[in-house]
Amino acid sequence: MNFRLLPEWAEQDAVMLTWPHQETDWAANLAVVEPVYIELCKAISKQQAVLVVAHNERLQNHITHLLKMAGVDLTFIHFVIAPCNDTWARDHGPLTCAALETSNELKIMDFIFNGWGNKFASVLDNQINQAIVTEIADPAHHYQKSDLVLEGGGIEMNEHGVLLTTSECLLNPNRNPSLSKGDIEQTLTEQLGVTSFLWLDHGYLAGDDTDSHIDTLVRFAPDNTLLYVQCDDRQDEHFDALQRMQSQLREFKTPQGNNYKLIALPWPQAVFNDEGDRLPATYANYLIINNTVLVPTYDDKHDQLALSQIAKAYPHHQVVGINCLPIIHQFGSLHCITMQLPRGFLAGTSK
């Protein structure tokens, strides 16, 4: 049977969050970070379920109390207890494919997460997907572990089976050093049902630990549309690289040989932490859920323009801003801390 990775705008059962806790790098910032997670639970639970991965039962009880106090309907909250090193669900979460021949069969892919090239501990994070599949996923699904190192934030897939990625990430020797570009393409074709590839060779964000994840730079939208970050400040260190990225995007062709429709996202003002490190603020790191797009905002003068630009690409969705300033202090944003689970993923849900 042939399976293909679903685009993010496919119908969903839930969104996965791995909750921050005292034994992660978030410990010093929990007071400002947990309210963002609560706000996400509020927004997501209006449309679908939320799957919360909790480090232990004590944390689950704490989260339940927080959500109850915030007025979140707990009937839409599901828990899986699984120890975790960190909370970047986009990169340690499952990637879910659907059968091309029938809409009600899914394949849950479990790739290796190695802490973005062995920069950070990830042994516990690599066991989370197995816990999810065992405890809460529909047992009828196909489950496949892969020996390929791959993070969800490193790839974008559209409804035509086109995979968009950056060469800086997927071809980095800190991921799969023994594999060539051809080897990686063959593996992703077999495991994710990719029909063609777009390799982006330019673009980066200062403060990004991921080696230029695509979800910080360029995103797919329906109908052969690409949204991308555009830097208009010639004095900014990103200007030249993002200009080259824009030029390459203009050269990309659809499988039919046409240009992609391009929508530029504004460039937020530079944000720094107390140590003077630049933080990777980007509007490209948004999350698509049922009927809604949740967009990171940064108390920036460009926030509203970002919302309106993203609305152009998703005209049938409501666009909602979520203040993610606390999240970027750990060098990620909204999309990085979430992973969508498509329709039929959870046990007991309709397909």
CB atoms within 10 A of CB 321: 20
Gap between the Cα atoms of 321 and 332, Å rounded: 16
3-class DSSP state of 147: strand
Gap between the Cα atoms of 320 and 308, Å rounded: 10
pLDDT at 102: 75
Provide the β-strand partners of residue 226.
220, 262
Specify the CATH superfamily of domain 3-342: L-arginine/glycine Amidinotransferase; Chain A (3.75.10.10)
The DSSP output letter for 315 is T
Instruction: Yes or no: say if 220 and 158 are a contact pair by the CB < 8 Å rule.
Output: yes
pLDDT at 349: 67
**Domain-by-domain residue ranges, the chain?**
3-342
Which residue carries 């599901």 as its tokens? Answer: 78
The pLDDT averaged over each successive group of 10 residues in the chain (351 residues) is 95 98 95 98 98 98 98 97 97 97 88 97 97 95 97 98 98 97 98 98 96 98 98 96 98 97 97 95 98 98 98 98 97 97 86 41
- Mapped to the 3 state alphabet, what secondary structure does 229-291 carry? ECCCCCCCCCHHHHHHHHHHHHHCECCCCCECEEEEECCCCCCECCCCCECCCCCCCCEEECC
Q: How far is CA 162 from the centre of its chain?
A: 17
Q: How far is CA 305 from the centre of its chain?
A: 22
